[in-house]
Structure 1
Amino acid sequence: MSRRGRRATAPSPEQLKDAVAGLIAAIDEGGDQLPPERVASARKILRKASERLELVGNHTVVALAGATGSGKSSTFNRLVGSAVSTVGMLRPTTTTISSAVWGSDPANDLLDWIGSASRHRVSPERAERSGATEHLDGLVLLDLPDVDSHRVAHRAEADRVLGLTDVFVWVTDPQKYADGILHEDYLRRMRAHEAVTLVVLNQADRLAPDEAAACRTHLRELLADDGLPNAEVILTSSRTGQGLDELRGALAGAVRAATAARVRLVGDLHTEAEALRAYVGDTEPTVSSEPDAALVAALARTAGVPIVLDSVERDYRARASVHTGWPLTRWVGGMRANPLRRFRLDRTVLGAEGAKRRKQTEQDQEIGAVLARSSLPEATPAARAAVATLRRRLGTKASQGLPALWADAVEIATGSDEDDLADALDQAIVGTPLRARNPAWWYVVGALQWILVLAALGGLLWLMLLWAMSAAQLPLPDTPTYSGIPVPTGLLLGGLVAGGLLALVCVPFVRIGGRRRRRKVEKRLGGAIAGVAKARLLDPQNEILGRHRRTRENLDRVLATRR
């Protein structure tokens, strides 16, 4: 359109398609973190783009818009070659859009979409009578109601149709070219459409040449302030025909290029992307995907892990004493409460026993997941406060520098429901194996203990037999001795003393094994707690930050279409 070398290369169909896809992706990724009114506006533009692309054909829709008395309808009639549109200082009461179509291609569907009831086809003969020397086939010219009309319906209709056209021709005059309605309500808001904007300063025949030039210069300055520094300004007179050939030439250039629709739509998409971009930050805070040691430790305390570890160590010692202790006193240990069973944690085992239990529970995993709860005591207020403090710090760090809606979403994700987090931690503990296969040396020691018990029992029975024979005054057989000690007495006393000493020797090894088992379970529980922290706190944060990044990238992708 421009003859001043300011128009950028028109976007290709692929670029327009990419811009549409980018805006759709940005809206989808942004979700509730983008203002609903902006999203609704963007979706409206996307619908319009889809509808307009289906109706593109070979037509270029040009709207003549302007204020009352600017000569818009007169200019329309001069371009058409006949008095098609009513001319007057005041608009008629109808809000009908007058349209004129050049060329033989049908435009009924397009005009139905626009909503023009008054339609006129410009024949080659009529075009010749209008003095046209340019080829305008494919042009659809619209005469809109006045944009400054006191009738709300007139202005609303003009605004509606302006949202559907490809090229804007703003018709003004020496008295109203600086009008605030024109500049503030329209031109300034449509700066993204500079490539398809043309300004006509009509009634130039009423001015001396130097006055017309001064008005044109001032109008260009006003357009620059509106963000349209390269918009073309044409001096015309609908009464004398001055400048109409230049206007026809500009319109013919738009028709020949057949890109105005794409330029306009990209401008609309750019405007929406720019508006949405204000609600997206330029960067995202760097948040680790793995929880730090302080967070894991705080969560472990609030979940009761120290109590679990104490129970694991005591459980190891209790079970070791059952296997390695003196068999005649093991029943005393059996009367004590099982440390893990007390908190309903004795189900989390490994080895053959654990495999057997898992095989049984796999048949009803869903019910098991609901019923599997520990009986650990609730966290202390201090432990809960420590976790709350760390979560707030985590949320503050992850939301730093983000727009309000995004920052709120990150902080909400970090401060997820406390009961839900506690339940997830409990499930992590319940689902963590706390036992392992019994060490082989337990069985060796246990076998030795029973051998010693049998030896002591054998010596006792032997001595009882000798006592019974003596009491019955039966001849006693010779009792074998070893190092001067009768063998029955040695078996009895040796079995008892050796069994006790063996149990005492095993005590330090049991304690060492208990501490080793505690460290292994502590590491295992730390991993489970870290998994909860990642799934319930960090992953939701990173998901929102990832959506923020993708929203920004897609909006920048749309904005890059016009660069």
Structure 2
Amino acid sequence: MSPLRMGSATIKGVSAESLTAASTSLKAAVDTGGSELPAKSVAKATSIVTKVGERTSLVGGHTVVALAGATGSGKSSLFNQLVGTDVATVGARRPTTSTPTAGVWGDEPAGPLLDWLGVATRHHVTGDKLHGDKGHESDKGKGGRGGASTVGSLDGLVLLDLPDFDSRETSNRVEAERVLELVDVFVWVTDPQKYADARLHDDYVSALATHDAVTIVVLNQVDRLSDSEIEQCVADLTRLMARDGIQKATVIPTSASTGRGLDVLGQRLSNAVSGSNAARARLAADVRQSAAALRPAVADSEPAIKAKGEGELVDALARAAGVPIVVRAVERDYSMQAVSHTGWPMTRWVQKLRPKPLRRLRLDAGRGDISVTQADVRSVLGRSSLPPPTPAARAAVDLATRRLADRAGSTLPTPWGDAVDEAATPSGHAMSDALDQAVIHTSLRSRTPVWWRVVGIVQILLALAVLSGMLWFVVLWVLGWLQFPSIETPMWGPLPWPFVLLFGGVVAGLLLALVSRFLAGIGARRRGAVINGRLRDSISVVADERILAPVAAILERHRETRQHLDAAAKV
């Protein structure tokens, strides 16, 4: 029920601080919501924020009340009775009002306010009381009049007579709607013939149902009806107002010709003026209405996505980045390096003839390095020689990003869901470059295992033993060929030491090489697992920066927009 009622009650106070905070929240919601909010509602909200700033910046305690109604409702006659003189044009020819007319009570200058309202025709009302009591004795005792003395002070009231909102002149309708956007209190003036007019109820009252605190309903020209007909029309109009959203509205029956009800209307206007709260109440209702119009464009909550650990996404990106190829190359490179350190020294040189797996991919940082050098990166212009992702790998990435977008945006309104989907689908070329750089800048090597060095030393000792045995046999053969006296050859059991050194060194070296190759296979798989983890960590960083972070940013904007709208609606 509207608080604009008889007695000392005034409009519920809205502090300037709370109104400013709500307006700021509405503006913040528009800013954070961006293109995901409906453009029409955003434009309306922006205009309301502007209006709040302009209206609150005007100095003075005026309250702007508009008499609005259809053609023939008697607005102008009612206006003239309230101001006490024929300011507005009244006549049988319609439309008679093409521009707003203002009546101003009080000595405080209202020029800046009327300039802002765009009202040129102005009349200053002397005194601070109502001038509309004709003193008809027939109305006494009916609650329809009580004299000007029963009405409180109207000091600060700015009363406007608007053009007909159903005028056949388009410019008149546009002007009426323009001013209605700016006023503080609405007085809907209708008559017994048009009180059920669809344009009044559907286009105006229903659209401003949230402004019931600053709404007054007047049934004018009741002098044409009997008391029973007045009661019937008032009851019907009250029902229509309730249907429009203004519950328990009080309808004031008035007559400009007899003065009936003008004291009641005057008291309502006095209540509106008292405390100078109507302007902030109207603006607060505008902010609430705008926030309510924007609220369906955001959901009640946001889904949670992991900052890291999107397994399916990382798997797909790793496959597209060629991580399995790199891991296999690391394992082969480890095996080759192990053979070059632990293999049979006489055949170890063969490894140098075989192409290096990592070097073929332009990922070789040099033996024993911990990470790729900048010189290597510059030498290949920051690119590896990894093959491009296969169609299956690209399809896996598309599927993973689509599923991520579905999880993040399925519960959001369509524009937000589309924004999430777009954020989760970065440019293919940029993503390929980022993945390639992630692979290049990931360390693919570790320090040489200690057992390689130990086995390598043992292999060198065995090789020296073989050489010693061979030299021993050569010396013995030369001595025999020269028929020198034979030298007694020491024995190790039944076997001569040259034989033991030669063949024993060869057999032991080959066996040690085979065992080392087996151990190298185990080490290669372990190294591959370590490098796979490093690469996946690097890929996870790319996924966070290129996909998850943009999606999270959309969800954060959605959360902020929702919170700002909820804050604006509480004014």
Among residues 352, 369, 381, which one is paired with 1:353 in the alignment?
A: 369
TM-score, reference length from structure 2: 0.89
Among residues 358, 364, 377, which one is paired with 2:387 in the alignment?
A: 377
Confirm or deny: 8 A CA contact 1:97 1:143 kept in the other structure. Answer: yes
- Whether 1:16 and 2:19 are equivalent positions in the alignment is yes
Shift of 1:546: 2.8
- Whether 1:184 and 2:202 are equivalent positions in the alignment is yes
Measured in 1, the distance between the counterparts of 2:520 and 2:17 equals 74
Residues 203-222 of structure 1 mapped to structure 2, 5 A cutoff? 203-222=221-240
Structure with the bigger percentage of helix: 1
Letter in 2 for 1:427: Q
Measured in 2, the distance between the counterparts of 1:548 and 1:149 equals 43
Equivalent position of 1:505 in the other structure: 515
- Whether 1:267 and 2:269 are equivalent positions in the alignment is no
Shift of 1:126: 8.4
Measured in 1, the distance between the counterparts of 2:119 and 2:94 equals 17
Confirm or deny: 8 A CA contact 2:10 2:271 kept in the other structure. Answer: no
Greater alpha carbon shift after TM alignment, 444-453 vs 381-390: 381-390
Letter in 1 for 2:509: G
* SS of the residue 2:189 aligns to: strand
Deviations 1:461-498 (A, max 9, x none): 45545555665666776665554655555444444343
* SS of the residue 1:124 aligns to: coil
Confirm or deny: 8 A CA contact 1:300 1:529 kept in the other structure. Answer: yes
- Whether 1:423 and 2:433 are equivalent positions in the alignment is yes
Provide the aligned length of Structure 1 versus Structure 2.
Answer: 553
Equivalent position of 1:397 in the other structure: 407
Shift of 1:451: 2.8
Measured in 1, the distance between the counterparts of 2:129 and 2:262 equals 16
Equivalent position of 2:397 in the other structure: 387
- Whether 1:559 and 2:561 are equivalent positions in the alignment is no
Equivalent position of 2:5 in the other structure: 3
Confirm or deny: 8 A CA contact 2:67 2:161 kept in the other structure. Answer: yes
Among residues 300, 304, 308, which one is paired with 1:282 in the alignment?
A: 300
Confirm or deny: 8 A CA contact 2:128 2:155 kept in the other structure. Answer: no
TM-score, reference length from structure 1: 0.90
Confirm or deny: 8 A CA contact 1:71 1:238 kept in the other structure. Answer: yes
Equivalent position of 1:161 in the other structure: 179
Shift of 1:101: 1.6
Q: CA RMSD in A?
A: 2.9
Measured in 2, the distance between the counterparts of 1:109 and 1:13 equals 20
Confirm or deny: 8 A CA contact 2:70 2:164 kept in the other structure. Answer: yes
* SS of the residue 1:234 aligns to: strand
Measured in 2, the distance between the counterparts of 1:254 and 1:129 equals 18
Confirm or deny: 8 A CA contact 2:154 2:270 kept in the other structure. Answer: yes
Letter in 2 for 1:25: A
Measured in 1, the distance between the counterparts of 2:213 and 2:469 equals 113
Residues 376-525 of structure 1 mapped to structure 2, 5 A cutoff? 376-464=386-474, 482-483=492-493, 487-488=497-498, 490-525=500-535
Confirm or deny: 8 A CA contact 1:187 1:226 kept in the other structure. Answer: yes
Equivalent position of 1:230 in the other structure: 248
Shift of 1:288: 3.9
Deviations 1:376-406 (A, max 9, x none): 2233333333333333333333322322212
Seen in structure 2, the aligned counterparts of structure 1 residues 491 and 147 have a Cα distance that, compared at 3 Å, is: same
Seen in structure 2, the aligned counterparts of structure 1 residues 331 and 454 have a Cα distance that, compared at 3 Å, is: same
Confirm or deny: 8 A CA contact 1:91 1:146 kept in the other structure. Answer: no
Measured in 2, the distance between the counterparts of 1:379 and 1:486 equals 62
Deviations 1:26-82 (A, max 9, x none): 212211111222211211111111111101521111111112221211221222122
Equivalent position of 2:352 in the other structure: 334
Shift of 1:417: 3.1
Shift of 1:191: 0.6
Seen in structure 2, the aligned counterparts of structure 1 residues 93 and 199 have a Cα distance that, compared at 3 Å, is: closer
Deviations 1:436-456 (A, max 9, x none): 111011112212222333343
Measured in 2, the distance between the counterparts of 1:2 and 1:429 equals 72
Seen in structure 2, the aligned counterparts of structure 1 residues 502 and 236 have a Cα distance that, compared at 3 Å, is: same
* SS of the residue 2:404 aligns to: helix
Letter in 1 for 2:295: R
Measured in 2, the distance between the counterparts of 1:7 and 1:521 equals 75
Measured in 2, the distance between the counterparts of 1:536 and 1:128 equals 72
Equivalent position of 1:136 in the other structure: 154
Shift of 1:7: 8.2
* SS of the residue 1:416 aligns to: coil
Confirm or deny: 8 A CA contact 2:88 2:97 kept in the other structure. Answer: no
Measured in 2, the distance between the counterparts of 1:465 and 1:106 equals 129
Measured in 1, the distance between the counterparts of 2:273 and 2:129 equals 19
Measured in 1, the distance between the counterparts of 2:59 and 2:331 equals 78
Letter in 2 for 1:537: I
Equivalent position of 2:126 in the other structure: 123
Seen in structure 2, the aligned counterparts of structure 1 residues 353 and 385 have a Cα distance that, compared at 3 Å, is: closer
Residues 193-208 of structure 1 mapped to structure 2, 5 A cutoff? 193-208=211-226
Shift of 1:219: 0.9
Among residues 31, 35, 60, which one is paired with 1:32 in the alignment?
A: 35
Confirm or deny: 8 A CA contact 2:5 2:271 kept in the other structure. Answer: no
Measured in 2, the distance between the counterparts of 1:300 and 1:538 equals 15
* SS of the residue 1:61 aligns to: strand
Letter in 2 for 1:143: D
Greater alpha carbon shift after TM alignment, 303-312 vs 113-122: 303-312
* SS of the residue 2:260 aligns to: coil
Confirm or deny: 8 A CA contact 1:91 1:145 kept in the other structure. Answer: no
Measured in 1, the distance between the counterparts of 2:96 and 2:443 equals 83
Greater alpha carbon shift after TM alignment, 163-172 vs 406-415: 406-415
Unaligned 5+ segments in structure 2 are 134-146
Greater alpha carbon shift after TM alignment, 401-410 vs 522-531: 522-531
Seen in structure 2, the aligned counterparts of structure 1 residues 129 and 487 have a Cα distance that, compared at 3 Å, is: closer
Shift of 1:231: 3.0
Deviations 1:399-447 (A, max 9, x none): 2232221222222223333343333333332222221111011112212
Greater alpha carbon shift after TM alignment, 531-540 vs 239-248: 531-540
* SS of the residue 1:74 aligns to: helix
Seen in structure 2, the aligned counterparts of structure 1 residues 16 and 352 have a Cα distance that, compared at 3 Å, is: farther
Measured in 1, the distance between the counterparts of 2:289 and 2:514 equals 84
Shift of 1:129: 8.7
Measured in 1, the distance between the counterparts of 2:66 and 2:128 equals 23
Unaligned 5+ segments in structure 1 are none
Letter in 2 for 1:248: G
* SS of the residue 1:429 aligns to: helix
